[in-house]
Chain A
Amino acid sequence: MTTNVIELRDVSKTIHDHQILFDINLEVRNGEFLTLLGPSGCGKTTLLRLISGFEEPTVGKIFINGKDVDGLPPHLRHVHTVFQSYALFPHMTVYENVAFGLRCQKLPAQEIEARVTEVLKIVKLEKYAKRKPEQLSGGQQQRVAIARAIVNRPLVLLLDEPLSSLDYRLRKTMQIELKQLQRKLGITFIFVTHDQEEALSMSDRVVVMHEGNIEQIGTPRQVYEKPENLTVAQFIGEANIFESEVIAVNDGKIIVRIQGKERIVKSSLNFTVGQKAHVLVRPEDLRVWDHSEVDDTNDMFPGQVEEVIYKGTTVDLMVRLSNNQLVAATEFFDEDDDRLEYAIGEQVWATWLSGWEVILPYET
């Protein structure tokens, strides 16, 4: 028994002479909540359609539960899809929608009824069994779509941007509901989204995709805190990127020069002296001090406050550094720093705690 429910080996897909996916290798673990995250057009939906069986890979192999599924139609893959905007059958009731898959399998009527009722109970829709999809709210339709898929007891549930048509509040509620449902059912979920916040808050692991390639696979924390390249860093969350040059390497500690200032950074990657590099600092890690608050400004960067955005729990600052680079800083209200009243045009020092940055090799 393998612990990987799905494996993709060297999968490429070309549609009309246009390559959509490049050498994708991916292992999906049994029972996990995996998210395919990327901007639209990055190939994430195509990847989903390859797994579901609506498309066949041009090159490469896909294994589901250890079995090569080459040429196997969608319904024989033990994988079911929750489509974008749900694709519920509008002329059927909720009950008929959910029973559709079981009726296609020609199961005995008694079993169909038992299973449909059970699943409707799980998604809390037993009272709505006789309604038509159009009489349901967006969230309820979403649950019907999930019920219709899980009633067939799939190994893996594929969800193609299922929350994108819901409004912000409902989306938040459905995120929690989906996550709870996944835990309760123990089914592997592969979830496609372009919303990084959604990906980070729901997933066990995130697959960051960009232009048909997988850029990074990791836990939400890994992809946010330890992005492997600039693409990932820029796509997930905000990042201030400083251009720098390595001037000394000493046992995991790297000394870099940024805008004439020397700073010590930490990295497990190997850098050589003289190499150019990007130093990334998240806005929440960037500290801004006014002139009266600091004495030693050796490793700080002078700048001028250009914009102050009050957000309730935080204050967001836009600071123009002396080399004309604009950086974003998010300041939290806490007891250490009670003075958050910045004025536009105020001269400040920007800095961060050593080790909270990420250093990446230079990319153009």
Chain B
Amino acid sequence: MKHDSLFKQFSLSIIWVWLLIFALLPFGLVTIASFLSRNDSHLITLPFTFINYFQLGNSIYIKIFKESFYIAGICTAICLLLGYPFAYLIARMRNRFKSLLILLIIIPFWTSSLIRCYSMITILKPRGVINSILLWLGIIDKPLPLLFTDTSVMIGLVYNLLPFMILPLLTNIEQLDHRLIDAARDLGANRFTTFRKIILPLTLPGILSGCILVFLPAMTIFYIPDLLGGSKSILLGNLIQNQFLIAENWPLGSAVSIVFTLLLAILLLIYWRSTRSNQARDLL
């Protein structure tokens, strides 16, 4: 149908134009900026230079990269350990609680994550919800230092990113043919063997995509370390934000962004390579 193909081309061009203007163009600008010099009045200026990238070799930046990797890694591991059993239970449910539970995972998305972060403060602060309850119960004498610690940053990260682990896992586990588990049982596999040899390998695409979806934002959500860590812990996201907004060193901030983007691309490439089937690729 001519009409259909016209409509199709129109819709596709809108998407392409959108991506060009709002994704590719900014990325191109950031790439160019990362090769320019710093200027106090104009922010960026000629000449072209590699100095911004050389600066990243500085031990402070290396340390921030390492720290970010470490924290994001722990956060991903916690999300996986919490999210996998949760996703598995929901996926295997057959009653009305299933949609309710899925709804409960999605509801937090309706509120800005920044606002939810502030509400975490009221829960964690010295006179906050947790400490008040513990004091009232007489379990503790003085408020526990919960806020502005590595723990509070981790709680905030896990709280914000857990759904990104659960949802791809949920999709993956739901696609799992239950007859495969029956078949494994029929052939004499116990629960542990069935999990290790059948369920785990078949949900690996979900695990990988969940990990990527948690790991990458964990390094860049700058406001969580800012608000819950009291600006003590600085992650990659904070570094980029600081360079742009506080130090006003756009070229350096751009260079960090580019390095981070490349890192991201490498991770996605590894994922792409490790999953051969299209079904697994669709999970991300």
Residues of B contacting A90 in the complex (Cβ-Cβ under 8 angstroms): 202
CB distance from B165 to the nearest CB of A (A): 22
Of A99-107, A184-192, A285-293, A304-312, the stretch lying at the interface with chain B is: A99-107
Residues of A contacting B46 in the complex (Cβ-Cβ under 8 angstroms): none
Q: Are A104 and B179 within 8 A (Cβ)?
A: no
Closest to B279 in A: A90
> Is A89's beta carbon under 8 Å from chain B?
yes
Among the listed B186, B188, B202, which residue makes an inter-chain contact with A81, where contact means beta carbons less than 8 Å apart?
B186
> Is B184's beta carbon under 8 Å from chain A?
yes
> Is B177's beta carbon under 8 Å from chain A?
yes
> Is A148's beta carbon under 8 Å from chain B?
yes
Q: Are A75 and B179 within 8 A (Cβ)?
A: no
Q: Are A101 and B201 within 8 A (Cβ)?
A: no
Closest to B187 in A: A101
Q: Are B198 and A73 within 8 A (Cβ)?
A: no
Residues of B contacting A83 in the complex (Cβ-Cβ under 8 angstroms): 179, 182-183
Residues of A contacting B188 in the complex (Cβ-Cβ under 8 angstroms): 75, 101, 104-105, 152
Q: Answer whether A100 and B189 are a contact pair too, CB < 8 Å, given A89-B198, A91-B201.
A: yes
Residues of B contacting A104 in the complex (Cβ-Cβ under 8 angstroms): 187-190, 193
Closest to B193 in A: A104
> Is B185's beta carbon under 8 Å from chain A?
yes
Q: Answer whether A89 and B183 are a contact pair too, CB < 8 Å, given A100-B189, A104-B193, A105-B188.
A: yes
> Is B180's beta carbon under 8 Å from chain A?
yes
Among the listed A54, A89, A101, A149, which residue makes an inter-chain contact with B180, where contact means beta carbons less than 8 Å apart?
A89
CB distance from B205 to the nearest CB of A (A): 10
Residues of B contacting A149 in the complex (Cβ-Cβ under 8 angstroms): 186
Q: Are B179 and A85 within 8 A (Cβ)?
A: yes
Q: Are B186 and A52 within 8 A (Cβ)?
A: yes
Closest to A148 in B: B187
Q: Answer whether A75 and B182 are a contact pair too, CB < 8 Å, given A90-B202, A91-B201.
A: no
CA A149 to CA B186, docked complex, whole Å: 9
> Is A80's beta carbon under 8 Å from chain B?
yes
Closest to A134 in B: B277
> Is A87's beta carbon under 8 Å from chain B?
yes
Residues of B contacting A84 in the complex (Cβ-Cβ under 8 angstroms): 179
CA A85 to CA B178, docked complex, whole Å: 12
Q: Which of A47-100 contact B (CB under 8 A)?
A: 52, 54, 73-75, 80-81, 83-85, 87-91, 100
CA A104 to CA B189, docked complex, whole Å: 6
CB distance from B191 to the nearest CB of A (A): 11
Among the listed B180, B189, B193, B201, which residue makes an inter-chain contact with A87, where contact means beta carbons less than 8 Å apart?
B180
Residues of B contacting A101 in the complex (Cβ-Cβ under 8 angstroms): 187-188
Closest to B202 in A: A91
Q: Are A75 and B187 within 8 A (Cβ)?
A: yes
Residues of B contacting A54 in the complex (Cβ-Cβ under 8 angstroms): 182, 185-186
Q: Which of B179-226 contact A (CB under 8 A)?
A: 179-180, 182-190, 193, 197-198, 201-202
Residues of A contacting B193 in the complex (Cβ-Cβ under 8 angstroms): 104
CA A74 to CA B202, docked complex, whole Å: 23
Residues of B contacting A81 in the complex (Cβ-Cβ under 8 angstroms): 182-183, 186
CB distance from B177 to the nearest CB of A (A): 6
Q: Are A75 and B202 within 8 A (Cβ)?
A: no
Q: Are B187 and A87 within 8 A (Cβ)?
A: no
CB distance from B275 to the nearest CB of A (A): 11
Closest to A74 in B: B186
Q: Answer whether A73 and B177 are a contact pair too, CB < 8 Å, given A89-B198, A91-B202, A104-B193.
A: no
CA A91 to CA B204, docked complex, whole Å: 11
Q: Are B186 and A80 within 8 A (Cβ)?
A: yes
Q: Are A87 and B179 within 8 A (Cβ)?
A: yes
CA A329 to CA B177, docked complex, whole Å: 46
CB distance from B187 to the nearest CB of A (A): 4
CA A350 to CA B202, docked complex, whole Å: 62
Residues of B contacting A91 in the complex (Cβ-Cβ under 8 angstroms): 201-202
Q: Answer whether A100 and B202 are a contact pair too, CB < 8 Å, given A84-B179, A87-B177.
A: no
Residues of A contacting B189 in the complex (Cβ-Cβ under 8 angstroms): 75, 100, 104
CB distance from B214 to the nearest CB of A (A): 24
Q: Are B183 and A87 within 8 A (Cβ)?
A: yes
CA A89 to CA B176, docked complex, whole Å: 11
CA A152 to CA B202, docked complex, whole Å: 24
CA A40 to CA B161, docked complex, whole Å: 45
CA A224 to CA B193, docked complex, whole Å: 47
CA A74 to CA B188, docked complex, whole Å: 7
Q: Answer whether A87 and B182 are a contact pair too, CB < 8 Å, given A75-B188, A100-B187, A104-B193.
A: yes
Residues of A contacting B177 in the complex (Cβ-Cβ under 8 angstroms): 87
CB distance from B140 to the nearest CB of A (A): 49
CA A88 to CA B180, docked complex, whole Å: 7
Residues of B contacting A100 in the complex (Cβ-Cβ under 8 angstroms): 184, 187, 189, 197
CA A172 to CA B190, docked complex, whole Å: 37
Interface string of A95-121 (1 = CB under 8 A from B): 000001100110000000000000000
Residues of A contacting B183 in the complex (Cβ-Cβ under 8 angstroms): 81, 83, 87-89, 148
CA A228 to CA B189, docked complex, whole Å: 43
CB distance from B117 to the nearest CB of A (A): 40
Q: What 12 additional pairs, Cβ within 8 angstroms, besides A91-B201, A100-B189, A104-B193?
A: A54-B186, A74-B185, A75-B185, A75-B186, A75-B188, A87-B179, A87-B183, A100-B187, A101-B187, A104-B189, A148-B183, A152-B188
Closest 9 CB pairs of A and B: A75-B188, A101-B187, A87-B179, A104-B188, A87-B183, A74-B186, A91-B201, A83-B179, A104-B189
Task: List 24 A–B pairs whose Cβ atoms lie within 8 Å, in order of A's numbering.
Answer: A54-B186, A74-B186, A75-B185, A75-B187, A80-B187, A81-B182, A81-B183, A81-B186, A83-B182, A87-B179, A87-B180, A87-B182, A87-B183, A89-B184, A89-B198, A91-B201, A91-B202, A100-B187, A104-B187, A104-B188, A104-B189, A104-B193, A152-B187, A152-B188
